Amino acid sequence: MNRTATERLQENVAAVARRAREASRELARLSGEERDEVLLAAAAAIEENAQAILKANEVDMRAAEEAVAAGKMTRAMAARLRVTERGVAQMATQVRDVARLPDPLGRRLAATELDDGLTLYKESCPLGVIAVIFESRPEVAPQVASLALKSGNAVILKGGSEAAQTNQALVSIWRASLGAFPAVPLDAVNLIETRADVLELLALDRDVDLIIPRGSYELVRFIMEHSRIPVLGHGEGICHVYVDRAADIGKAVAITYDAKVQYPAVCNAAETLLVHEAIAAKFLPVALAKLEQAGVEIRGDAKTATLAPGARIVPATEKDWATEYCDLILSVKVVADEGEAIGHINRYGSRHTEAIVTEDAEAAKKFMDEVDAAGVFQNASTRFSDGFRYGFGAEVGISTSKLHARGPMGLEGLTTYKFKLYGSGQTVEPYVKGEKRLKHRTI
């Protein structure tokens, strides 16, 4: 039966997860060529149904605009919700980019000859069933669905209520495209929507292998504290740009501007600017003037206000250093040296992405070695921290964890491995008795 996304919402979440588990086993049997063919069909379906996607998004946007006017939604969240014709085209492009990537499954990661006729292989394989909980951004649905299918995983999506119509349209289009391939189960992609559904999902550790929450720190903590399922957190992005004493001022102004202004509503946008005191008097007046022209509100410390008297500066508070604004707001602090900058980042940062602007190789090395973050950049905007820009085709999220996957998560983050041992009748007893010795020869 070809169930629509809306019909799926009425079902018991446990049943959805069980069918997703069954679907994951069928997906694992597909060849890489078969999975790529499905992805290309899904990309074409997105393009063919562009107007349906935009129409659904208009419904969500009208409700969002009312919520913004009533003070119930931020403008940043509304901005993340909007889908344009260009955005639909980018969705299709990213799905095709994923299809062009090498098959992540069945890769031989290691091979060891334990003894004559006894060989151990370590090979990549799918995780199984992945649940992704995300807010606002509808383009996450096709990104995650494409990565999941390419890596042989079934996926359960939970989008925010503010994007309900758009998410339903996207998942329905995706599932309809799967219907053209008898070997591909429709339950490879699933959608749930209510908070009650999420609470039920968190208890399904037998059928869900990994949960990836994309949202606020509070959301990630809630998921971690209420589920036995492994959680790979995509939390808030409190990213910094540090302008070192040896920075090229032109580069520093351009990087700071791009990191804050190019798209302020995303997790890899800069939230705090740190400036070495030796360059602050030259850099700050130029940089802050350009930022203010773009409508950025500056929240600075006392030294910043002194060194940039022409800027409109709101006094920064302790809370500002630990805030992800996702808006045209930037906190600014003048530091005595690089050590203070690193200390500030390691205290207030979210281990996402941090950048140093400097022409001093030693300073760059110190920063990149000592800053605790998934991404550390020299002379480049924090906005480069993205699976698509890294060449992953798309990303399922950006992990600030240090286990399994870190940084933008592409296909590799959605796979695990298994050990395959090929023998010829061996038993352990002769090795225990010392009659035989294991070779452990890498091959």
Q: Is the Cβ–Cβ distance between 355 and 260 less than 8 Å?
A: no
Element (H, E) at 234: none
With 80 as the cut, is the pLDDT of residue 15 above it? yes
pLDDT band at 291 (very low <50, low <70, confident <90, very high): very high
With 50 as the cut, is the pLDDT of residue 334 above it? yes
In the predicted model, what is the mean pLDDT of residues 26-47? Answer: 97
With 50 as the cut, is the pLDDT of residue 1 above it? no
Using DSSP, state whether 365 is helix, strand or coil: helix
pLDDT value of residue 11: 62
pLDDT band at 53 (very low <50, low <70, confident <90, very high): very high
pLDDT value of residue 5: 46
pLDDT value of residue 10: 46
Residue 38, φ and ψ in degrees, nearest 5: -65, -40
For the stretch 55-104, pLDDT in tens is: 999 999 999 999 999 999 988 789 889 999 999 999 999 999 999 999 99
Residue ranges in 230-371 assigned as alpha helix (H):
249-261, 277-293, 302-307, 318-321, 338-348, 361-370
In angstroms, the CA 410 to CA 398 distance is: 9
The residues with which 270 forms a beta bridge, in sequence order, are 239
In the predicted model, what is the mean pLDDT of residues 299-309? Answer: 96
Q: Which residues of 308-338 are buried (b: 16+ CB within 10 A; e: fewer)?
A: beebebeebeeebbbbbbbbbbbbbbbbeeb
Strands 375-378 and 353-357: parallel
In the predicted model, what is the mean pLDDT of residues 223-252? Answer: 91
With 70 as the cut, is the pLDDT of residue 219 above it? yes
Residue 330, φ and ψ in degrees, nearest 5: -140, 125
With 80 as the cut, is the pLDDT of residue 234 above it? no
With 50 as the cut, is the pLDDT of residue 2 above it? no
- Nearest one of 187, 186, 149, 130 to 33, comparing CA atoms: 149
Angle at 163 between CA 205 and CA 74, to 5 degrees: 110
Q: In this structure, how many other beta carbons lie within 10 angstroms of the beta carbon of residue 103? A: 16
For the chain, what is the mean pLDDT?
A: 93
In the predicted model, what is the mean pLDDT of residues 421-425? Answer: 95
With 70 as the cut, is the pLDDT of residue 6 above it? no
Q: Please state, for a pLDDT cut of 90, what percent of the chain lies above it.
A: 81
Q: In this structure, how many other beta carbons lie within 10 angstroms of the beta carbon of residue 154? A: 31
Strands 239-243 and 210-214: unpaired
With 50 as the cut, is the pLDDT of residue 155 above it? yes
pLDDT value of residue 112: 97
